[in-house]
């Protein structure tokens, strides 16, 4: 008898979602779906507000990566003012985003995902978390926590708060970087480099050994990749233009402007999820599947442009023997990006202009329609506002990184479920470790569901087994 | 309320003119000429003069304006503000404080349902609900054809006849929904 | 005008009169019951019978028994007819010459009439309000003459103090003391205001007085002006009372013509003029500071007191402000002396009080009873109780500011103190009878809806407290409330009562608090689950009727 | 000038006759919560936060409009007052749409300060979520009615200090709102001199400078007092 397994909600991600695993008559997996079941109304309740508030409002979508929204909102605001922001303001915004990528990736790797790698897929779920990691490998855990703290502290030193620092504003940023803060960052950089190198070495070792098979199972499929690249084709996180590449490394589209996103990005809707399904319109839905985020950014750029990071990028490409197309390698890509960020931060700290106090351009409303883009830890983030003559928001569209990986995430859970779950008989439980692997497939993308659905909710776990006739067979909850 | 909108008859023939001045064609020369030629403004000016253009006479003047124009349109409020040398916001604040002043045109006919305690105790709320259903409008609104406005009153002081209604100035007591609806239909038919 | 001319005017009016007079009531109540058709019938009968020289058809103001209108009175036989129809008009006319009529004769021995003691309403059914001559004929303006010529202002104030009259608008502040305060303010511009902004739903005493006997109010105001040293008076009246406005305007014109108003009245050095100010639909303007703002052409926002109007009122000048009924009591007090007035009523409350008796009661109408009359006498004897054998559940006094007195407390005398003790108030005189079918939570909600819509919005507790109170009552009355909501309702009620700026907010929670006092079980019965937060079944403890 | 002596929370104060209890409290360094009161403007006594207990008077009276009397014994803090003030603030928070997190005045808001002062951390009354608008039509300033508490400081400062009377209150009761001109967009009101005094007078983030973002409005409220005194006493130096 066929049935469905539902994992609801998925743990160790930001937000609330569930996975349904559909079993066929033989107890094998026929399909699996990743549902996002929260809903929030950000796009709606921004209407009528001054555009200057958008950074503050949209940052509240998420407590993990508010900086991404701050930047996208500020950049959209810049375009409404139609100003060029002072050079130092741009550098400081970059600094904050680099710090944010660092802290978010550190959180994803050390706190959320490494317990699976280091303690084992099938280890006791009660200990398969950052606290278990502290018990098992206190030095690594502490280093990871301090690396995240480094990123957060840089954000705090710029914006006066660790989260929701309303510091980026249309026209620039609110306060300059103090010499004291610059010095603090310089002092903490070496330790941060050490930590990321330690993690890289550890993880690379596992990819050659314990985690070798996962690469072929966790989202290994061809797709497009999208991300920002600099004018010179280098890795980019703040500005530049959009580029699509395919699994063979060909450039499918280049020099795309975020202003024209509606021309190449479509958004499909499925009745079983509040999360929209963006796709690359020239290829249609669902063939226009593309991935964004750390791995995509590394795939679309020609090179990173930083010595150490480029060495690691080459290593990744060698490992994949071309374009890395397994989503399991997002974890690796994240570590490479942390290294990239640290190198960029180092460079910015050496820039004498970085502490300049000219950080804000003033202007009135000059443009009524604007799109801003930034690279969030999880991928490309678009903010699109239409305002009236006075700058009150008339409509908002937010295209969130996680949503763009929605098709890929669904494909990944199906792939994993089919690999690990076989011949489940009536009344028979699925081994917890298998379910954990299915969840881990989602965690590769480090999804931020709060962002992507603009939703509110808690994050316990709910698994359902549903038969082919649609009847619920068993349920499991995790609080 | 019962005493407002009484000049409906005098206002009605001048409606085209009024809607012309409603048009926000901001050609001030044209407009001021129109004003001069509009005897309603003259009537208003006379009232202001009688009150020596005292700011304290604002409510008296607004009463006159409402009687003359049927409601307080924006140009009228500006005219009053200018005449009494008052800030626009002060005039607007007063005009919107008092329920008898209306900034929108009312219907040709009015039906006021008394909602005082005595009437309430004797079923005025149910009566009002029936009228709302019949006319397809809520209390305080005017039918889309501009024929009739349905209004509520605090207490018209005829508690002995509760529940009471006032249709075009005529008070009727001890009403049932059927009786009131019939009276409304009669009024509309006239 | 001097006193001889005044007497001559009265005599002339007496001489002018025809042997018979038929009076028909022109108040709103009788008019909407068909009084105009009756009048036409009476006039036609007189014309057809060629009785023009013998019978005069004349209007009078409210005669009180509004439930049985149209009312017609025949003079000099002093017979009242009730529910007169146009068809009966001719036969009523015929009674002047011994004819018979099937029109129903009112039983003047009924407690409705017997228990009344008209002072304010003493001219009820006796004069045509639109003719000053008739007012003078019944002794009008003689009190003004007496005050101006025989008394000093201080003596007038003294008589008012002696009378023990307390403000009839609801507050109950001793009128004489108020006059004295204004009188003692340094000489200069002072004002007298008559508050005729009778806004309580279910109250129409002031309307009736202004419609039926406007000169009495003007005379009272003029005497007050003399006593306190004011030369200018305002009557602030509701626009909803067009007939009262019309009669008052006419009365002022006539009084000016005969020099009862104007300069050097009765040859004294006293000047006094009266202007009418018409409200525009704002209940809060019954509050004296709001009313003064409104007279000055501003939003009717109250302001904190002190300073009281007696010290700083209209245009910051000392201002005496009393309501219609208070001013209507002045002429009789000056005529008969304060001691006379003080001999009526009780120790706590002197004189008489006019009530508008409405709601679920047989004899709706306007009554004037001596203070100390019990609610039971009023409701059961005078009002003949609930129609169709219903049972009285409660009597509401004081409108949105007042409270509900339950049926078992009906033996309470009408007095300021005893009503206050029950959580009700004397109020301006609205008295609404509720029967067993009346839902008390619904009544509280009705009054709160009123306050919510009528609050001026200036102070926070009243502006937003009334909204929250209404929402709580609405929730409870829809059966969606919890024990916590009832608790919150009570707490918020006390807060709004104590924290609000003016009388509107300070009394707005009274209907809630008094129904919570006497009918709490009705609230509890409406709760989602009749259990408190600890899961225990909740029942009201005190004064809960068995319902 | 005659002087009266009174006690405020047990502290003896001597102050000129005609002063308010509020001024006497300031003299005695006693903080009385308030929102509609602003030194330099006329008093209206509408927020009711400054109500105090006065021995021998069974009514609560607002400190801002109550004149001092010889021998008065004033209590500014009591459990009852604290409880009522808290309720007033809860009503205010429930009445508008006060989202501190994104407000220009966050961290520099008198409403927020008062909530902290009386220990109000949540409202026990349901939020009303009124549908209110923001007006950014002025070239320099904006008004967001969501954050307005109707203290009327803007109305008074514009009328009494600047003399422009751009603002007034319109409608009644729960529908009251601050109106510019004939209910026009602020930017269309000819009378506005763009002096910005209303921005400084506003206790919340309702009136603000247009480029201000979250937490950036730092109102200079003493400036009005300074300005009034400067004009009265010809002292142009702070």
Q: How does pLDDT run across A82-137, given as a tens digit for each residue? A: 999 999 999 999 999 999 999 999 988 998 888 888 888 787 777 777 788 888 88
Q: How does pLDDT run across C491-529, given as a tens digit for each residue? A: 999 999 999 999 999 999 999 999 999 999 999 999 986
For residue D182, give the nearest of B74, B97, B99 by CB distance: B74
Which pLDDT does position A351 carry in this prediction?
96
**CA-CA-CA-CA torsion for A238, A239, A242, A247, nearest 10 degrees?**
-40
What is the distance between the alpha carbons of residues D204 and D32, in angstroms, rounded to a whole number?
18
Closest CA–CA distance from residue D147 to any residue of chain A (Å) = 12
* Structural domain of B70: 8-97
Among D72, D73, D52, D71, which residue's Cα sits nearest to residue D61?
D52
User: Which is more confidently placed, A268 or D56?
Assistant: D56
User: Which is more confidently placed, D127 or B37?
Assistant: D127
Domain boundaries, chain D: 3-76, 83-233
Structural domain total, chain B: 2
The average pLDDT across C134-149 equals 96
The average pLDDT across C159-167 equals 96
The overall longest dimension of chain B from CA atoms, in Å, is 56
The DSSP code for C71 is: P
Distances (CA, A) of D128 to C351, C461, D93: 48, 15, 9
Q: How does pLDDT run across A177-231, given as a tens digit for each residue? A: 999 999 999 999 999 999 999 999 999 998 888 888 888 889 999 999 999 999 9
Average pLDDT across chain C, whole number: 92
Q: How does pLDDT run across A363-407, given as a tens digit for each residue? A: 999 999 999 999 999 999 999 999 999 999 999 988 888 888 988
Say if residue C539's pLDDT is above 70.
no
Q: How does pLDDT run across C273-307, given as a tens digit for each residue? A: 999 999 998 999 999 999 999 999 999 999 999 89
Asked whether the beta carbons of residue A390 and residue D216 sit closer than 8 angstroms, the reply is no
Asked whether the beta carbons of residue D182 and residue B78 sit closer than 8 angstroms, the reply is yes
Distances (CA, A) of C380 to C111, C373, C391, C433: 10, 12, 10, 10
Cβ of D150 under 8 Å from any chain C Cβ?
Answer: yes
Cβ of D181 under 8 Å from any chain C Cβ?
Answer: no
What is the distance between the alpha carbons of residues C162 and B55, in angstroms, rounded to a whole number?
41
What is the distance between the alpha carbons of residues A396 and A374, in angstroms, rounded to a whole number?
16
For residue D166, give the nearest of B74, B81, B89 by CB distance: B89
Which pLDDT does position A475 carry in this prediction?
55
Contact between B107 and B148 under an 8 Å Cβ cutoff? The reply is yes
Contact between C209 and C325 under an 8 Å Cβ cutoff? The reply is yes
Say if residue A37's pLDDT is above 90.
no
Q: Could you tell me which residues come within 8 angstroms of residue D56 by beta carbon, excluding any fewer than 6 positions away?
A: D73
**A478 phi and psi angles, rounded to 5 deg:** -135, 125
**C63 phi and psi angles, rounded to 5 deg:** -105, 0
Picking from B95, B119, B155 by the largest number of C CB atoms within 10 A of its own CB, the best residue to mutate is B155
The DSSP code for C265 is: G
Q: Could you tell me which residues come within 8 angstroms of residue D153 by beta carbon, excluding any fewer than 6 positions away?
A: D36, D38, D41, D198, D201, D202, D203
Q: What is the band of A464 on the pLDDT scale with cuts at 50, 70, 90?
A: low
Cβ of D69 under 8 Å from any chain C Cβ?
Answer: no
Q: How does pLDDT run across A440-459, given as a tens digit for each residue? A: 888 888 877 544 443 222 33
Residue C337: other Cβ atoms inside 10 A: 14
3-state SS string over D11-39?
A: EEEEEECCCEHHHHHHHCCCCCCCCCCCC
Say if residue C464's pLDDT is above 80.
yes
Contact between D177 and D146 under an 8 Å Cβ cutoff? The reply is no
Q: How does pLDDT run across D8-48, given as a tens digit for each residue? A: 999 999 999 999 999 999 999 999 999 999 988 999 999 99
What is the distance between the alpha carbons of residues C304 and D67, in angstroms, rounded to a whole number?
11
C120 within some domain: no
What is the distance between the alpha carbons of residues C145 and C268, in angstroms, rounded to a whole number?
9
Which pLDDT does position B25 carry in this prediction?
42
Contact between C496 and C472 under an 8 Å Cβ cutoff? The reply is no
DSSP string, chain D: --EEEEEETTEEEEEETT-BHHHHHHHTT-----SS--TTS-----S-TTEEEETT--S-EETTTPBP-TT-EEE---HHHHHHHHHHHHHHHHHTT--GGG-TTTTS-HHHHHHHHTT--S-SSPP------EE--SSSEEEEGGG-----HHHHIIIIII----EEEES-GGG-EEEETTT--GGG-TT-----HHHHH-SSSSEEETT--TT-----THHHHHHHHHHHH-----
Q: Could you tell me which residues come within 8 angstroms of residue C114 by beta carbon, excluding any fewer than 6 positions away?
A: C108
Q: What is the band of A160 on the pLDDT scale with cuts at 50, 70, 90?
A: confident
Distances (CA, A) of A113 to A16, A135, A404: 17, 16, 21
Q: Final residue of a domain: which of B97, B128, B158?
A: B97
ipTM summary value: 0.88
Asked whether the beta carbons of residue B92 and residue D183 sit closer than 8 angstroms, the reply is yes
Asked whether the beta carbons of residue A169 and residue D102 sit closer than 8 angstroms, the reply is no
D162 CA to centre of own chain: 18
Q: What is the band of B37 on the pLDDT scale with cuts at 50, 70, 90?
A: low
What is the distance between the alpha carbons of residues C157 and C169, in angstroms, rounded to a whole number?
19
Contact between C47 and C85 under an 8 Å Cβ cutoff? The reply is no
Q: What is the CATH number of the domain that holds B159?
A: 3.40.30.10
| Pairs of CB atoms within 8 A across B/D | 47
Among D86, D39, D32, D91, which residue's Cα sits nearest to residue D62?
D32
Q: Both C422 and C471 in a single domain?
A: no
Say if residue A460's pLDDT is above 90.
no
Q: Both B59 and B82 in a single domain?
A: yes
How far apart are the two ends of chain B, measured CA to CA in Å? 21
Q: Both B93 and B113 in a single domain?
A: no
Which pLDDT does position A423 carry in this prediction?
73
B104 within some domain: no
Domain boundaries, chain A: 4-38+414-478
Contact between C286 and C400 under an 8 Å Cβ cutoff? The reply is no
B103 within some domain: no
C132 within some domain: no
Average pLDDT across chain B, whole number: 81
D in contact with A (at least 3 C-beta pairs within 8 A)? yes
Cβ of A368 under 8 Å from any chain D Cβ?
Answer: no
Q: Both B117 and B163 in a single domain?
A: yes
Asked whether the beta carbons of residue B155 and residue C365 sit closer than 8 angstroms, the reply is no
Contacts D133 to A, Cβ<8 Å: 48
Q: What is the CATH number of the domain that holds C264?
A: 3.40.50.11540
Determine how β-strand A393-399 pairs with β-strand A379-387. Answer: antiparallel
* Structural domain of C322: 139-341
Contact between A290 and A279 under an 8 Å Cβ cutoff? The reply is yes
Which pLDDT does position D51 carry in this prediction?
97
What is the distance between the alpha carbons of residues A355 and D140, in angstroms, rounded to a whole number?
29
Cβ of A270 under 8 Å from any chain D Cβ?
Answer: no
Q: Final residue of a domain: which of C107, C124, C155?
A: C107
Contacts D62 to C, Cβ<8 Å: 304, 501
Structural domain total, chain C: 4
Contact between C66 and C27 under an 8 Å Cβ cutoff? The reply is yes
B3 within some domain: no
Nearest CA in chain C to D86: C495
Q: How does pLDDT run across B148-180, given as a tens digit for each residue? A: 999 888 777 777 788 989 998 888 888 899 999
Among C499, C481, C389, which residue's Cα sits nearest to residue C444?
C481
Which pLDDT does position A433 carry in this prediction?
76
C124 within some domain: no
Q: Both C393 and C507 in a single domain?
A: no
SS3 content of chain C, % helix, strand, coil (to 5): 45, 15, 40
SS3 content of chain A, % helix, strand, coil (to 5): 45, 20, 35
Highest mean pLDDT: which of A469-478, C179-188, D214-223? Answer: C179-188
Asked whether the beta carbons of residue B98 and residue C279 sit closer than 8 angstroms, the reply is yes
Which pLDDT does position A119 carry in this prediction?
83
| Residue A116, CB-side half-sphere exposure with 13 Å CA sphere | 24
C368 within some domain: yes
Say if residue A425's pLDDT is above 90.
no
What is the distance between the alpha carbons of residues A444 and A442, in angstroms, rounded to a whole number?
5
Cβ of D131 under 8 Å from any chain A Cβ?
Answer: no
Q: Both B20 and B42 in a single domain?
A: yes
For residue C364, give the nearest of B62, B120, B160 by CB distance: B160
Q: Could you tell me which residues come within 8 angstroms of residue B64 by beta carbon, excluding any fewer than 6 positions away?
A: B43, B44, B47
Under CATH, what is the fold of the domain D3-76? Ubiquitin-like (UB roll) (3.10.20)
- Quick one: CATH architecture of D83-233? 2-Layer Sandwich (3.30)
Q: Both B69 and B127 in a single domain?
A: no
What is the distance between the alpha carbons of residues A288 and A303, in angstroms, rounded to a whole number?
25
Contacts D142 to A, Cβ<8 Å: 50
Among C124, C144, C373, which residue's Cα sits nearest to residue C260?
C144
How far apart are the two ends of chain C, measured CA to CA in Å? 65
Closest CA–CA distance from residue B56 to any residue of chain C (Å) = 4
Q: Final residue of a domain: which of C286, C321, C341?
A: C341
Cβ of C313 under 8 Å from any chain B Cβ?
Answer: no
| Neighboring chains of B (3 or more beta-carbon pairs < 8 A) | C, D
Picking from A41, A46, A49, A52 by the largest number of D CB atoms within 10 A of its own CB, the best residue to mutate is A52
Q: Both B115 and B93 in a single domain?
A: no
| Pairs of CB atoms within 8 A across B/C | 145
Q: Final residue of a domain: which of C289, C313, C341?
A: C341
**E strand or H helix at B28:** helix B28-37
């Amino acid at each position: 008898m066929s049935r469905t397994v539902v994992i609801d909600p998925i743990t160790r991600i930001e937000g609330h979602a569930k996975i349904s695993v559909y079993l066929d008559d033989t107890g094998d997996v026929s399909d699996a779906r990743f549902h996002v079941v929260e809903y929030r109304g950000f796009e709606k309740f921004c209407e009528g507000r001054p555009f200057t508030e958008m950074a503050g409002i949209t940052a509240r979508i998420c407590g993990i990566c508010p900086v991404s929204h701050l930047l996208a909102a500020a950049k959209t605001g810049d375009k409404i003012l139609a100003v060029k922001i002072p050079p130092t303001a741009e550098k400081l915004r970059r600094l904050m985003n680099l710090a944010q990528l660092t802290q978010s990736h550190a959180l994803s790797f050390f706190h959320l995902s490494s317990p699976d790698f280091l303690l084992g897929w099938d280890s006791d779920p009660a200990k398969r978390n950052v606290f278990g990691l502290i018990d098992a490998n206190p030095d690594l855990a502490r280093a990871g926590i301090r690396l995240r703290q480094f990123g957060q502290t840089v954000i705090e030193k710029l914006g006066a708060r660790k989260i929701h620092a309303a510091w980026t504003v249309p026209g620039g940023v609110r306060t300059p970087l103090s010499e004291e803060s610059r010095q603090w960052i310089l002092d903490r950089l070496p330790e941060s480099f050490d930590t990321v190198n330690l993690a890289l070495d550890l993880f690379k070792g596992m990819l050659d050994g314990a985690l070798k098979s996962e690469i072929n199972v966790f989202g290994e499929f061809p797709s497009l990749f999208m991300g920002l690249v600099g004018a010179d084709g280098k890795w980019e996180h703040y500005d530049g233009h959009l580029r699509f590449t395919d699994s063979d490394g060909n450039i499918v589209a280049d020099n795309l402007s975020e202003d024209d996103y509606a021309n190449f990005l479509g958004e499909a809707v499925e009745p079983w999820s509040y999360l929209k399904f963006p796709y690359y319109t020239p290829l249609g839905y669902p063939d226009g599947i593309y991935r964004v985020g750390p791995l995509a950014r590394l795939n679309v750029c020609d090179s990173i442009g930083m010595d150490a990071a480029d060495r690691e990028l080459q290593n990744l490409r060698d490992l994949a023997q071309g374009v890395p197309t397994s989503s399991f390698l997002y974890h690796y890509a994240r570590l490479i990006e942390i290294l990239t960020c640290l190198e960029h931060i180092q460079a910015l700290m050496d820039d004498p202009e970085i502490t300049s106090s000219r950080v804000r351009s003033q202007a009135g409303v000059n443009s009524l329609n604007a799109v801003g883009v930034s690279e969030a830890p999880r991928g490309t983030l678009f903010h699109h506002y239409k305002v009236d003559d006075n700058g009150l928001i008339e409509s908002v569209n937010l295209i969130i990184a996680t949503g763009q990986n929605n098709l890929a995430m669904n494909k990944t859970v199906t792939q994993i479920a089919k690999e690990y779950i076989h011949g489940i008989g009536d009344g028979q439980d699925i081994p917890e470790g298998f379910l954990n692997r299915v969840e881990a497939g989602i965690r590769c993308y480090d999804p931020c569901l709060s962002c992507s659905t603009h939703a509110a909710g808690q994050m316990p776990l709910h698994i359902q087994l549903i038969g082919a006739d649609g009847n619920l067979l068993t349920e499991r909850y995790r609080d | 309320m019962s005493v407002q909108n009484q000049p409906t008859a005098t206002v009605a023939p001048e409606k085209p003119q009024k809607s012309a001045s409603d048009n926000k064609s901001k050609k001030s020369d044209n407009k001021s000429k129109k004003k001069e030629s509009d005897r309603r403004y003259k009537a208003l000016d006379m009232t202001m003069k009688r009150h020596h253009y005292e700011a304290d006479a604002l409510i008296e003047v607004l009463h006159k304006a409402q009687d003359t124009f049927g409601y307080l349109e924006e140009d009228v409020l500006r005219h009053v503000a200018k005449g009494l040398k008052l800030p626009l916001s002060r005039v607007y604040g007063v005009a919107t404080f008092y329920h008898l002043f209306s900034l929108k045109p009312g219907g040709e006919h009015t039906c006021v349902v008394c909602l005082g305690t005595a009437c309430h105790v004797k079923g005025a709320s149910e009566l009002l609900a029936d009228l709302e259903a019949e006319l397809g409008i809520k209390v305080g609104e005017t039918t889309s054809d501009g024929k009739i406005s349905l209004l509520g009153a605090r207490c018209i002081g005829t508690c002995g006849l509760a529940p009471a209604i006032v249709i075009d100035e005529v008070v009727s007591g001890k009403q049932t929904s059927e009786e009131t609806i019939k009276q409304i239909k009669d009024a509309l038919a006239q | 005008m001097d006193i001889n001319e005044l007497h001559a005017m009265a005599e002339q009016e007496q001489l002018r009169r025809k042997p018979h007079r038929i009076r028909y009531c022109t108040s709103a109540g009788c008019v909407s019951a068909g009084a105009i058709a009756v009048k036409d019938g009476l006039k036609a009968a007189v014309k057809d019978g060629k009785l023009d020289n013998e019978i005069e058809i004349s209007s009078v103001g409210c005669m009180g028994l509004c439930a049985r209108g149209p009312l017609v009175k025949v003079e000099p036989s002093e017979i009242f007819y009730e529910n007169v129809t146009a068809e009966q008009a001719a036969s009523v006319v015929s009674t002047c010459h011994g004819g018979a009529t099937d029109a129903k004769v009112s039983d003047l021995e009924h407690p409705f009439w017997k228990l009344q003691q008209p002072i304010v309403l003493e001219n009820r059914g006796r004069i045509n309000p639109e003719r000053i001559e008739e007012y003078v004929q019944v002794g009008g303006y003689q009190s003004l003459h007496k005050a101006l010529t025989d008394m000093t202002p201080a003596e007038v104030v003294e008589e008012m103090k002696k009378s023990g009259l307390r403000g009839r608008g609801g507050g109950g502040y001793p009128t004489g003391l108020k006059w004295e305060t204004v009188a003692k303010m340094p000489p200069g511009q002072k004002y007298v205001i008559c508050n005729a902004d009778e806004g309580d739903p279910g109250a129409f005493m002031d309307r009736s007085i202004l419609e039926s006997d406007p000169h009495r109010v003007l005379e009272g105001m003029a005497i007050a002006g003399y006593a306190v040293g004011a030369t200018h008076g305002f009557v602030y009246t509701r626009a909803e009372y067009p007939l009262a406005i019309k009669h008052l305007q006419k009365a002022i014109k006539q009084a000016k013509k005969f020099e009862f108003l104007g300069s050097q009245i009765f040859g004294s050095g006293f000047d006094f003029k009266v202007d009418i100010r018409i409200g525009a639909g704002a209940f809060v303007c019954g509050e004296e500071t709001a009313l003064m703002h409104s007279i000055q052409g501003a939003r009717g926002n109250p302001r904190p007191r002190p300073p009281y109007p007696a010290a700083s009122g209209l245009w910051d000048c000392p201002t005496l402000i009393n309501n219609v009924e208070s001013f209507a009591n002045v002429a009789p007090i000056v005529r008969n002396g304060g001691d006379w007035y003080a001999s009526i009523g009780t120790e706590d409350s002197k004189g008489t009080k006019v009530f508008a008796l409405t709601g679920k009661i047989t004899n709706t109408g306007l009554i004037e009873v001596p203070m100390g009359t019990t609610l039971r006498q009023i409701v059961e004897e005078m009002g003949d109780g609930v129609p169709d054998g219903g049972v009285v559940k409660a009597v509401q006094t004081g409108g949105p500011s007042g409270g509900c007195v339950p049926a078992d407390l009906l033996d309470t005398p009408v007095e300021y103190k005893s009503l206050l003790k029950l959580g009700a108030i004397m109020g301006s005189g609205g008295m609404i009878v509720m029967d067993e079918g009346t839902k008390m939570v619904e009544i509280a909600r009705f009054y709160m809806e009123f306050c919510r819509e009528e609050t001026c919005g200036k102070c926070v507790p009243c502006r937003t407290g009334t909204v929250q109170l209404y929402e709580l009552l609405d929730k409870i009355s829809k059966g969606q409330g919890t024990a916590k909501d009832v608790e919150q309702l009570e707490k918020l009620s006390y807060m709004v009562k104590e924290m609000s700026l003016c009388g509107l907010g300070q009394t707005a929670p009274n209907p809630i608090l008094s129904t919570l006092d006497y009918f709490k079980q009705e609230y509890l019965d409406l709760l989602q689950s009749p259990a408190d937060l600890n899961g225990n079944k909740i029942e009201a403890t005190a004064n809960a009727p068995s319902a | 000038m005659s002087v009266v002596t009174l006690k405020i929370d047990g502290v003896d104060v001597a102050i000129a006759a005609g002063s308010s209890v509020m001024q006497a409290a300031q003299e005695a360094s006693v903080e009385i919560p308030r929102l509609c009161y602003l030194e330099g403007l006329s008093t209206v006594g509408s927020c009711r936060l400054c109500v105090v207990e006065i021995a021998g008077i069974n009514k609560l009276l607002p400190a801002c409009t109550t004149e001092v009397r010889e021998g008065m014994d004033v209590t500014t803090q009591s459990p009852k007052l604290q409880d009522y003030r808290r309720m007033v603030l809860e009503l205010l928070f429930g009445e508008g749409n006060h989202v501190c997190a994104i407000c220009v005045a966050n961290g520099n808001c008198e409403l927020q300060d008062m909530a902290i002062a009386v220990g109000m951390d949540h409202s026990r009354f349901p939020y009303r979520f009124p549908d209110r608008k923001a007006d950014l039509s002025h070239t320099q300033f904006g008004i967001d009615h969501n954050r307005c508490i109707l203290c009327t400081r803007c109305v008074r400062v514009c009328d009494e200090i600047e003399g422009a009377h751009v603002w007034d209150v319109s409608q009644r009761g729960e529908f009251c709102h601050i109106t510019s001109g004939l209910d026009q967009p602020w930017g269309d009101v000819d009378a506005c001199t763009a002096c910005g005094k209303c921005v400084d007078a506003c206790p919340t983030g309702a009136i603000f400078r247009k480029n201000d973002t979250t937490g950036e409005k730092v109102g200079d409220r003493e400036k009005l007092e300074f300005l009034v005194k400067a004009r009265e006493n010809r002292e142009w130096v702070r």
